[in-house]
Amino acid sequence: MKYDPAIEASALPYSPFKSCTVPRPIGWLSSISADGIDNLAPYSQWQNLTFDPPMVMFAANQYPDGRRKDTVINAEETGWFVWNMATYDLREAVNISAMALPPEQSEFDIAGVTRRSADLSSVPMVAESPVHFECRYLSTHRFIGNSKVGTIDVVFAAVERIHIDDAFLTADGRLDILRIRPLARLGYHDYTSVTETFAMHVPNASPEADDGLEGQPARRSGVPSMRPPH
């Protein structure tokens, strides 16, 4: 089968689009409003953009009535949000945190997760998550969709502080992914988590390229990391 999504629906009973780019890591994002109300929500339209400096993005669809998502408004108003790593053990809390709540209620309380103070802003972090990124808001790029919910705010941010729970590091200093068991989004109502990993090396890669893939770009190149000003 094939179809042109801009002009027709697929012939399938459910749109296959969200089931094609899978698994998608989950941006489990905490933020705080200008009035001090904290917020937590999952975003599967979430990605790394680059690593030096580390930058991330997420795309938030508008609500059907045209309201923008609170995470976007909070990031724009306060300049900060936190990415909390979603894991299989935290799957129920991740799911519950997607509920649309009245402004006086916080997803932290409904999802039953613990607030931990961030270092660089007053955004609370999910204490139970093994990894957190403190993200400084950079900009929003708005794309108008074919419908109100199709319209998105793409938010770009710089990762200014990374917290990793030492209990989830291996003896040789890598993230212990099989113990963390990161949660990821599939299509429909389906999810997966990482329960298997394997390694591959690009044939004939230069030492610099090989180091970059492994995560040590500065060691051989000697190029100092650039940090954007606060």
Q: Which residues bind ligand FMN (CB under 6 A)?
A: 26, 39, 41-45, 59-61, 69-71, 95, 98, 100, 185
Rounded to a whole number of angstroms, the minimum distance from the CB of residue 94 to ligand FMN is: 6
How does DSSP assign 90-115, residue by residue? GHHHHHHTTS---TT--HHHHHT--E
* Nearer Cβ to ligand FMN (28/212): 28
- Residues 148 and 48: beta-carbon distance below 8 Å: no
CA distance 161 to 163: 7
* Nearer Cβ to ligand FMN (60/111): 60
Rounded to a whole number of angstroms, the minimum distance from the CB of residue 10 to ligand FMN is: 20
User: What b/e string do you get for 60-93 counting C-beta neighbours within 10 Å, with b at 16 or more?
Assistant: bbbeeeeebbbbbbbbbebbbbbbbbbbbebeeb
* Nearer Cβ to ligand FMN (60/93): 60
* Nearer Cβ to ligand FMN (19/211): 19
Rounded to a whole number of angstroms, the minimum distance from the CB of residue 50 to ligand FMN is: 20
Rounded to a whole number of angstroms, the minimum distance from the CB of residue 100 to ligand FMN is: 5
CA distance 106 to 97: 9
